[in-house]
Amino acid sequence: MQATKKKIDIDYTKYDFKDEIKYVYQSKRGLSREIVEEISYWKNEPDWMRRFRLHSLEVFLKKPMPTWGADLSEINFDEYIYYIKPTDRKGKSWDEVPEKIRQTFERLGIPEAERKFLAGVGAQYESEVVYHSLREDLMKKGVIFVDIDTAVREYPEIVKKYFGTVVPPEDNKFAALNSAVWSGGSFVYVPKGVKVDFPLQAYFRINAESVGQFERTLIIAEEGASVHYIEGCTAPVYSEDSLHSAVVEIIALPGSHVRYTTVQNWSKNVYNLVTKRAVAYEGAFVEWVDGNLGSKVTMKYPAVYLLGRGAKAEILSIAYAGAGQHQDTGAKVIHVAPYTTSNIVSKSISKDGGRTSYRGLVKVQKGAVGVKSTVKCDALMLDEFSRSDTYPYMEIDEELVSIGHEATVGKISEDQLFYLTSRGLTESEALTLVVLGFIEPFAKELPLDYAIELNKLIKLEMEGAIG
Amino acid sequence: MPTLEVRDLYVSVDGKEILKGLNFAINKGEIHALMGPNGSGKSTLAYTIMGHPKYKIESGDILFEGKSIIEMKPDERAKLGLFLAFQYPVEVPGVTLFNFLWKAIQANNLDSTSPRVSKLPKSVIDYKRELIDRVKNLNMSEIFIYRPIGVGFSGGEKKRMEILQMAMLKPTIAFLDEPDSGLDIDSLKTVADVVNSIRSQDLGIVVITHYQRILNYIKPDFVHIMLDGRIVKSGGPEIVEKLEQEGYAWIRETTAESAD
Ligand SMILES: Nc1ncnc2c1ncn2[C@@H]1O[C@H](COP(=O)(O)OP(=O)(O)O)[C@@H](O)[C@H]1O
Ligand SMILES: [Mg+2]
């Protein structure tokens, strides 16, 4: 049973298909003031947004590339196409979506999931949302679920009040980039006391080569409201890299509950550099459930600022890095108010030379007494070529707190494999079983269909791994 | 032709020679006891027969129904009908016994020509029914099968899970590596009852132990004594009593004599 490693790449056949599409508009490669003005023009935006974009562009140009985290030195901002408008129409039914694009989403199973268990769906293709729907009863209760471009025009008071307040352009270079060229993404507003019983889902698809996707999501849960938002992302494999740089802002007002679930399976030439942050007021509960399987490089550290007494954060993530991938992911929780709690669980798997890093921050500000926080990071390395690092930062400025941290780095032991194979499982079946067991705490937080899909993807990654 | 035969086997681990010319044979339907002091190589023999990658065969052969199996992987040996109940079962976080064992049974079911396989459950419903039945026979709560394998189990619970897997997989030759250690007398009787209940003409069992206690409940047809990597004495159940009275020193003396 000497382990001889074969390299396998994930079978992307399900996601790796390209459409021949005539776009309505496509910007030139590269980034300039002109391009930003153009995007704003095509969107027919109010002036405050245009100015916000131009200001953000300046911030972006001034900020240096981050030198910590993953290697971003190969990113050439002049190579990307920053805006592609795929269609003039935005469908409220799938029939209104251009046929080729509709077929794409059908192949990805979106309309079917919508019929089965979703309360609303947004589908984005390149830079624009092409389809949006929300169950009628929720609409009647005042829930808003539209693409964010529409929200800027139709709900200017709410958008203006919150847009860019949780993640300002000054936050980091990629937040600034997104703020300058953002397009598409979702706007979710749940009024006071309304509980959205089924998930809302957004699906992001990059189809063209060298395109950047910069969606922007804003979620506001009023007092006592609750909502579960899911996003999925894929792209076909091209020879040139693509860039996905999103910003997600969540405002969880007192007593509300927001859960944000992501499973990204970008093709392995996408740079995925995302800023996700929530603020939670008194008694509010924010959960990030974050799965990173695809992409070439991901840098993403979902954050929660616990601003109100008794607010709660849970950040549960898994990362898988195969050959040529670096998943630099983690979590960030800032305890500002007393009696706030946070729980961070991170699981990572590296294989065939892949690299995972957990990078996390738990900060407790002076005066935030009674804070409880636990951090648990488990890394599993499937061979000796792979790598896993943990960078857990703690800044605790208050004494009356309880902080727990636990980290494990494991290899699948020869004895475990022997035990499982001695009952009749082949080595790759046994390996798959152990890996699925390892990520089970994450999978069980997903809606069933997504958990099944995740298990399938993991199986594909493991099969034939060892000869 | 014996069902399983070990011929003049030399085995080393990390360059250290442990089995030194071991001979052994068993037929279906028989129960053998393999006794010997700690460190004499009993577990090494069981691991080697099952194909543990760490245990290197320097020379000799292992034959199952007359064919050498030493080039086979552990899962292939399992599918032939070999089984090992581990002395120290492992823990597999996140993997339930229910899930794992069903996968194992499905894997065994692939070879539909073997008569052994015809006795395995074919549908998950039949599987579940039989599993729950057998869990009850072992005086265990059903919840154990839905817990991660071994995690948080007591030593005795782990041992019973091994016996449960044996009962479900219906091997042709099973090695039970110290199924008695860590068990109180009631658990020991329960385990022995289950083993006795699955005794049949189609199953050969090797009970590895260094205490005779379990052999009061599982009556062996043959008894072998192992010392320093070799079987030095074989015979009937009477050996157990003599060993009980005189200890391994007696064997050491007699074998030293016969070596002269
Ligand atoms: N995996 C191993 N690595 C190193 N030494 C081992 C290993 N397994 C067994 N040994 C050594 O081989 C000898 C026999 O061990 P074992 O087969 O476990 O004996 P028994 O089961 O009869 O107590 C002991 O000296 C033990 O230390
Ligand atoms: Mg032993």
Nearest CA to B246 out of B218, B217, B212, B208 is that of B212
Stretches in chain A below the pLDDT threshold 50: 1-12, 464-467
Q: Return the CA Rg of chain B.
A: 18
Indicate which of A421, A429, A431, A432 best probes the interface with B, i.e. most B CBs within 10 Å of its own CB: A421
User: Using CA atoms, how far apart are residues A213 and A183, in angstroms rounded to an integer?
Assistant: 8
Indicate which of B92, B97, B166 best probes the interface with A, i.e. most A CBs within 10 Å of its own CB: B92
Q: How far is B101 from chain A (nearest CA, A)?
A: 8
Distance of CA A21 to the CA centre of its chain: 26
Average pLDDT along chain B, 260 residues, taken 10 residues at a time = 97 96 97 95 98 97 97 96 96 91 95 86 96 94 92 90 96 96 89 93 95 91 96 92 83 62
Specify the pairing of strand B31-35 against strand B204-209: parallel
Q: Which residues of A126-165 are buried (b: 16+ CB within 10 A; e: fewer)?
A: bbbbbbbbbbeebeeeebbbbbbbebbeebeebbeebbbe
- Which of B11, B17, B43, B52 is the best mutation target for the ligand 1 pocket, counting ligand atoms within 8 Å of the beta carbon and taking the most? B43
ipTM of the complex: 0.96
Question: Which among A2, A429, A439 has CB closest to B107?
Answer: A429
The angle at the Cα of A245, spanning A64 to A454, to the nearest 5 degrees, equals 135
Residue A74's CB is within 10 A of a number of other CB atoms, namely: 10
pLDDT of residue A1: 33
How many angstroms separate the alpha carbon of residue B38 from the centre of ligand 2?
7
pLDDT in tens, A248-297: 999 999 999 999 999 888 888 899 999 999 999 999 999 999 999 999 99
**In contact, A383 and A6? CB cutoff 8 Å:** no
Question: Which among B93, B99, B104 has CB closest to A424?
Answer: B104
Q: How far is A387 from chain B (nearest CA, A)?
A: 22
- Which of B9, B12, B18, B210 is the best mutation target for the ligand 1 pocket, counting ligand atoms within 8 Å of the beta carbon and taking the most? B18
Nearest CA to A207 out of A57, A85, A53, A332 is that of A85
Q: How far is A29 from chain B (nearest CA, A)?
A: 47
Domain B4-259 has CATH 1.10.10.10: no
Q: Which residue of A has its CA nearest to B148?
A: A437
Q: Considering the entire predicted model, what is its pTM?
A: 0.83
How many angstroms separate the alpha carbon of residue B17 from the centre of ligand 1?
10
User: Using CA atoms, how far apart are residues B35 and A120, in angstroms rounded to an integer?
Assistant: 68
Helix (H) or strand (E) holding B143: none
The average confidence (pLDDT) of chain A is 90
Ligand 1 in reach of B39 Cβ (< 6 A): yes
Q: Give the number of whichever ligand sits closest to the CA of residue B86.
A: 2
User: Using CA atoms, how far apart are residues B85 and A5, in angstroms rounded to an integer?
Assistant: 29
Helix (H) or strand (E) holding A101: helix A99-107
How many angstroms separate the alpha carbon of residue A179 from the centre of ligand 2?
65
Ligand 1 in reach of B43 Cβ (< 6 A): yes
Judged by CB atoms closer than 8 Å, whether chains meet at B148 and A426 is answered as: no
DSSP for A174-217? HHHHHHHH----EEEEE-TT-B--S-EEEEEE--STTBEE--EE
How many angstroms separate the alpha carbon of residue B22 from the centre of ligand 2?
16
User: Using CA atoms, how far apart are residues B208 and A453, in angstroms rounded to an integer?
Assistant: 44
Q: Collect all residues from A whose CB is shorter than 8 A from any CB in B.
A: 1-2, 413-416, 418-427, 429, 433-434, 436-441
pLDDT of residue B257: 52
Torsion sign (Cα): B51, B52, B56, B60: negative
pLDDT of residue A253: 98
Residue B16 CA: which ligand 1 atom is closest?
Answer: 5
**Phi/psi at A8 (5° precision):** -130, 145
Q: Give the number of whichever ligand sits closest to the CA of residue B85.
A: 2
Residue A234's CB is within 10 A of a number of other CB atoms, namely: 22
**In contact, A292 and A319? CB cutoff 8 Å:** yes
How many angstroms separate the alpha carbon of residue B180 from the centre of ligand 2?
12
**Burial of A61 (C-beta count, 10 Å sphere; 0-12/13-18/19+):** middle
Q: Return the CA Rg of chain A.
A: 22
Q: What type of residue is B132? A: I
**Cα–Cα distance list, A46 to A51, A53, A150, A156, A335 (Å):** 9, 11, 12, 9, 36
Q: What type of residue is B172? A: T
Judged by CB atoms closer than 8 Å, whether chains meet at B107 and A425 is answered as: yes
User: Using CA atoms, how far apart are residues A219 and A151, in angstroms rounded to an integer?
Assistant: 12
Question: Please, which residues have CB within 8 angstroms of residue A458's CB and are 6 or more apart in sequence?
Answer: A320, A432, A435, A436, A439
Residue B41 CA: which ligand 1 atom is closest?
Answer: 17
For the record, the structure tokens of B175 come out as 């090695």
**In contact, A142 and A222? CB cutoff 8 Å:** no
Half-sphere exposure of B191 (CA within 13 A, CB side): 29
Ligand 1 in reach of B13 Cβ (< 6 A): yes
Q: How far is A266 from chain B (nearest CA, A)?
A: 27
DSSP state, residue A239: S
Specify the pairing of strand B4-13 against strand B55-64: antiparallel
**In contact, B212 and B244? CB cutoff 8 Å:** yes
Judged by CB atoms closer than 8 Å, whether chains meet at B100 and A414 is answered as: no
**In contact, B205 and B171? CB cutoff 8 Å:** no
DSSP state, residue A425: -
Nearest CA to A268 out of A244, A294, A302, A250 is that of A294
Specify the pairing of strand A186-190 against strand A216-221: parallel
Contacts of B105 in chain A (CB under 8 A): 424
Contacts of B72 in chain A (CB under 8 A): none
pLDDT in tens, B192-224: 999 999 999 999 999 999 888 899 999 999 999
Residue B46 CA: which ligand 1 atom is closest?
Answer: 17
Question: Which among B73, B93, B169 has CB closest to A423?
Answer: B169
Torsion sign (Cα): B200, B201, B203, B208: positive
Question: With DSSP H G I counted as helix, E B as strand and the rest as coil, what are the percentages for chain B, rounded to 5?
Answer: 40, 30, 30
Torsion sign (Cα): B231, B233, B236, B242: negative
Judged by CB atoms closer than 8 Å, whether chains meet at B77 and A422 is answered as: yes
